[in-house]
Amino acid sequence: MRWLGTSALFLALLCGTALAEINSATGGIAGLNNGTLTNGDGSGDAQLAVTALDLALVKQARDLTGAVLAAGANVLPGQEIYFVLYVDNTTSFPVADLRITDLIDESQFTYVSTSLEQTTVASGSNDAAIWAGTWTGLTDGVGGPDDAASAVDTGGPAAEDSITIGAVPGQANTTVNLSGPNLRAYRFRVTVN
């Protein structure tokens, strides 16, 4: 019997409360109106607002029926479970370039090949609604045909030990964007060692 622990999980775009930052210039070259000089205060049409979102990344362990396993739940060697990763964009602002890396502890879990899937549901969906979403299978390999995520072996034992989502450096995944208000979830199966 093994206690269900946590693994390393990274969200590269910790960006839902929207925070806006205004970028403007208050000068020009030899009186040239470069779009920033209206009233001499940098409020011209070239003023740029950059919006960042504060997102939460959630990781759950679930049994094969989709029931969420409690923290510290007992799992048995040879048992298959799901890990579900999701990001909920509660705002109407789009999130660009979402990147997630989840490292699988190979001493505790073995990735089940070709089990990587994704779904998008309404923001605020509960656990049952997320599980009931329309899941689309993703290939494990880096690159086409789906490109959004991959399962890779980073070294050590010969098995996939890292799930990458989005344009993670060193991967050929495509950029993942998330419009709001939506929740994007990814799931994959592992066998307990």
Looking at the structure of the chain, the number of domains it has is 2
Instruction: Give me the tens of pLDDT residue by residue for the chain, a chain 193 residues long.
Output: 445 554 455 544 434 344 555 554 444 444 555 555 555 555 556 555 666 667 888 999 999 999 999 988 899 999 999 999 999 999 888 888 899 999 999 999 999 999 999 999 999 999 999 999 999 999 888 776 677 899 988 888 888 999 999 988 877 788 899 998 999 999 999 999 9
Q: Are residues 89 and 48 part of one domain? A: no
pLDDT score, position 191: 96
Q: Are residues 123 and 69 part of one domain? A: yes
Range(s) of the domain holding residue 47: 17-54
Q: Are residues 25 and 90 part of one domain? A: no
CATH number at residue 70: 2.60.40
pLDDT score, position 127: 97
pTM of this structure: 0.78
The CA distances from residue 82 to 1, 69, 89, in Å, are: 17, 10, 23
pLDDT score, position 158: 87
Q: Are residues 103 and 62 part of one domain? A: yes
Q: Are residues 60 and 150 part of one domain? A: yes
Q: Are residues 68 and 33 part of one domain? A: no
Q: Are residues 145 and 183 part of one domain? A: yes
